Amino acid sequence: MRKAVVLLSGGLDSATTLYIARSQGFRCFCLIFDYGQRHRREIKAAQRIAQIANCKLQIVKIALPWKGSSLLDKKINIPLRVKGIPSTYVPARNIIFLSFALSYAETINARAIFIGANALDFSGYPDCRPEFYRAFRKIIDSGTKSGAKGKKIQILTPLIKKKKAQIIKTGVRLGVPFEFTWSCYRGGIRPCEKCDSCYFRAKGFREAGIKDPLLAERQGDCSCKKI
């Protein structure tokens, strides 16, 4: 069976990406990052999703002591809706994550890396855009042993041009356990429903005509089982 490394953050995009990879016949190895983010809720969510999907998981703990983001520095307030690149942008985060994923993929002889990047309903992060992934594919081809030997490692971004509603509908069809995902930039028991990530999640569920299971207590019974 073909192997794939899947970057799993615990959010609905990465969870859907994992289930897409599984549906395509890949044996998935989940890579979860503990990089000093404000809370561990998303790490726990990622662990649980990987376990439900019966996939091997690896937690990588790294330090970014210079911080540079409101996701890393609790002295900086999480912004509400803003224009431009928000303070929740973590400098070069996806470059760092993909580098680890690439090293892991070469080590286990995986031929694909899946990442749930999205360039439509997103906060404007530069490392979520198609041109970034086109450039990184060239790095793989020119800067790795696999590339030198002509054994390409693909970077697959199945959600890059999808609206959140499309992603949610795809996830429902594939049986993604959205009730265990976590999108909010803040920790806590319930989503704050105010940050950028909560905004796009709510927008997606609303446009999909599906109730968010994380808010099921407030909304009544969840309708995530069928479309």
In a domain, 155, yes or no: yes
Q: Provide the CATH number for the domain around residue 80.
A: 3.40.50.620
What is the mean predicted confidence (pLDDT) over 196-206? 94
pLDDT 10s digits, 55-91: 999 999 999 999 999 999 999 999 887 778 999 999 9
In a domain, 224, yes or no: no
Q: To the nearest whole percent, how much of the chain has pLDDT over 70?
A: 95
Biggest alpha carbon distance in the chain? 55
pLDDT 10s digits, 84-123: 899 999 999 999 999 999 999 999 999 999 999 999 888 8
In a domain, 126, yes or no: yes
In a domain, 110, yes or no: yes
Q: Judge whether 93 and 128 are in contact, CB under 8 Å.
A: no
pLDDT band of 2, cuts 50, 70, 90: very high
Domain containing 179 equals: 3-219
In a domain, 190, yes or no: yes
In a domain, 194, yes or no: yes
The more confidently predicted of residues 165 and 189 is 165
CA distance 45 to 10: 5
In a domain, 92, yes or no: yes
In a domain, 95, yes or no: yes
Report whether pLDDT(147) > 70. yes
Q: Judge whether 53 and 22 are in contact, CB under 8 Å.
A: yes
Q: How many domains does the chain have?
A: 1
From the list 175, 191, 172, the residue with the least C-alpha distance to 183 is 191
